[in-house]
Amino acid sequence: MAYILQQLLTKSAARYPEKTAVWARGRSITYRELDQRSNQLAHLLRQRGIKKGDRVGLYFPKCVESVISMLGVVKAGAVYVPLDPQAPADRVGYMIGNCGIRALITKEEKRRGLDQATLASLDFCVMTDEAAKSGNGTGVIPWTMLADCPAAHAPEVVLTETDLAYILYTSGSTGRPKGVMLSHQNALTFIEWCAATFEISSEDRLSNHAPLHFDLSVFDIYNALEAGATVYLITEDLNLFPAKLASFIESEGITVWYSVPSALTLLLLHANLKAENLALLRLILFAGEVFPMKYLRQLADLLPHVELQNLYGPTETNVCTYYEVERDRLASLEKLPIGIACENTEVFAVNDQDEIVTQPGGSGELYVRGPAVTYGYWADPEKTMKMVVPNRFQPNFDEKLYRTGDLVQLGEDGNYYFLGRRDSMIKSRGYRIELGEIESALLGHPAVKEAVAIAIPDDVVSNRIVAVVAAHDGTAVKPSELQQHCATRIPKYMIPELIEFRESLPKTSTGKVDRVQLTEDSVRGANQPAEVVPQ
């Protein structure tokens, strides 16, 4: 049994050396090549001074080198940090500084976009683009240098399952993203459960729809490696076009698909899916947001041969519960359950009286316990202490629980059902978004006096984001200016699509901004324009 991630690759490379491990953008590599390339990268990183536990950023669009890099970094004993290649440079710079990234694996166009202070903080950059030659700056190492490093074995590093493997950044309520620390054990708890539950075999062909800084990708990449299967990285040229994506799934014979529900909804609405063209597809997993029942029923009818699984869990636990869609219940189910705990994981709801909910119908905040739970947030003990808390229901030894912030109900059928959030975190297209982070970006503009970001429920993407802003007296600012300002601070999927101006924002009796009132106004107002998906 593997206790560190790279052992999954070592095992499959020994067993299936000539099999394709990864496909992306028309290129592929075998298990042997992936193993050797990642060994070489690990040696290169060590030679340049990367030590156990150091953070290495991956900052380039998805490609074959992404998987080589993930494995190369962990083989060096280091911790990889996938950075969203679409995120504004300012946000990426923050993450690099926040977790003290020492080296970047990147492309020249991405490296060039970073500010001088960030670049100066790095020891070196490894460039994945062929064109990049050393001499573009100090500490710039071309990918071709890998060829000079030993390929047969990874460097000697002592690691245990409790060492960190990667850090994933998610939206933070106080205006800056937070780095969720995940150990090898955290990841493998989930990967091994998936391997057993979904019976992934070396014959499977898995899609990778999610970006690599998104925890859904952990299943795609590592469960493929675990089984000796092939993972197909889906890039924007495919992802944007449902009809093209559907023919890709068909022509490559994808057997296991995992994505956010909105990606499936777009396929459903615009790709003319047919069961006979997708005969090889056997399993669809979805997670990240609530799947509207209307579309799930359509999908279940359209693909009667495909097993459908709803996975639930915040990045801090990867996945902690699952529900296998029961087709005979679909017509009568009003709401899709998030299901029951995965193996080697315990979940329970804690009600307002601080008691564990044991009776059907009871509801409370969902807590998670077990080896899948994160250590917390990098360099943020305060936030960590709020979310990763001592287990007060068990007095015998020190143990941590993760508070999800999600309110759930225990159903009569034994499944948990998602009710909502305790705070102002929302989901849009499966992305976790703290409305506070958007507000903080808006308030960073000199003309803005008050700002509230609002989520408008939407059938396809879960939520659309709008904002209501009051400017300082006498300042004129256009919505597009504020959106442009936001684009320098937050990712595109967080930028409000509409910004409404008011002289001042309504207040509650306690003097706080009246979010409830504003949300009601916005939902009412936003129900006319911008019908996102034509029916």
Q: Among the candidate windows 28-36, 174-182, 268-276, 444-452, which touches another protein by CB under 8 A?
A: 268-276
Taking residues 43 to 82 in sequence order and writing x for each that binds another protein by CB under 8 A, - otherwise, the string is: ----------------------------------------
Examine residue 532 and tell whether it contacts another protein (CB under 8 A).
Answer: yes
291 or 417: whose CB is closer to another protein? Answer: 291
Name which of residues 459 to 488 contact another protein (CB under 8 A): 460-461, 479-480, 483-488
Quote the least distance from Cβ 131 to another protein, whole Å: 17
List the one residue from 117, 196, 389, 533 that touches another protein (CB under 8 A).
Answer: 533
| CA–CA dist 213, 215 (Å, integer) | 6
102 or 485: whose CB is closer to another protein? Answer: 485
Span between the terminal Cα atoms of the chain, in Å: 49
Q: Report the DSSP beta bridge partners of residue 403.
A: 367
List the one residue from 266, 268, 319, 387 that touches another protein (CB under 8 A).
Answer: 266
Give me the helices (H) in 48-171, please: 64-75, 89-98, 108-113, 116-121
Quote the least distance from Cβ 243 to another protein, whole Å: 4
Examine residue 242 and tell whether it contacts another protein (CB under 8 A).
Answer: yes
Half-sphere exposure at residue 360, Cβ-oriented, CA atoms within 13 angstroms: 5
Both tokens assigned to 48:
């340049």
Closest among 401, 394, 398 to 369, alpha carbons compared: 401
Quote the least distance from Cβ 426 to another protein, whole Å: 16
Closest among 462, 501, 516 to 261, alpha carbons compared: 462
205 or 429: whose CB is closer to another protein? Answer: 429
Quote the least distance from Cβ 273 to another protein, whole Å: 10
∠ CA(403), CA(405), CA(411), 5° rounding? 95
Exposed e or buried b for every residue in 206-242, given b needs 16+ CB within 10 A? bbbbbbbbbbbbbbbbbbbbbbbbbbbbbeeebbeeb
Exposed e or buried b for every residue in 448-462, given b needs 16+ CB within 10 A? bebbbbbbbebebbb
239 or 298: whose CB is closer to another protein? Answer: 239
Residues in binding contact with another protein, number by CB under 8 A: 36
Name which of residues 406 to 445 contact another protein (CB under 8 A): 429
List the one residue from 13, 114, 263, 311 that touches another protein (CB under 8 A).
Answer: 263
76 or 271: whose CB is closer to another protein? Answer: 271
252 or 497: whose CB is closer to another protein? Answer: 497
| CA–CA dist 38, 351 (Å, integer) | 47
156 or 531: whose CB is closer to another protein? Answer: 531
153 or 492: whose CB is closer to another protein? Answer: 492
List the one residue from 241, 248, 393, 501 that touches another protein (CB under 8 A).
Answer: 241
Examine residue 272 and tell whether it contacts another protein (CB under 8 A).
Answer: yes
Both tokens assigned to 94:
């923050």
| CA–CA dist 197, 391 (Å, integer) | 28
Examine residue 496 and tell whether it contacts another protein (CB under 8 A).
Answer: yes
Both tokens assigned to 15:
């067993």
Taking residues 278 to 317 in sequence order and writing x for each that binds another protein by CB under 8 A, - otherwise, the string is: ----------------------------------------
Examine residue 251 and tell whether it contacts another protein (CB under 8 A).
Answer: no
SS3 262: helix
Examine residue 240 and tell whether it contacts another protein (CB under 8 A).
Answer: yes
Closest among 439, 434, 463, 461 to 450, alpha carbons compared: 439
Examine residue 89 and tell whether it contacts another protein (CB under 8 A).
Answer: no
Please name the amino acid found at residue 346: E
User: Do the beta carbons of residue 43 and residue 68 sit within 8 Å?
Assistant: no
Quote the least distance from Cβ 487 to another protein, whole Å: 2
User: Do the beta carbons of residue 139 and residue 160 sit within 8 Å?
Assistant: no
Examine residue 243 and tell whether it contacts another protein (CB under 8 A).
Answer: yes
Examine residue 497 and tell whether it contacts another protein (CB under 8 A).
Answer: yes
Edge-to-edge strands, sheet with 462-471? 448-458, 462-471, 498-502
Residues at the site binding another protein, with contacts judged by CB under 8 A: 86, 236-237, 239-244, 263, 266, 270-272, 429, 460-461, 479-480, 483-488, 492-493, 495-498, 530-534
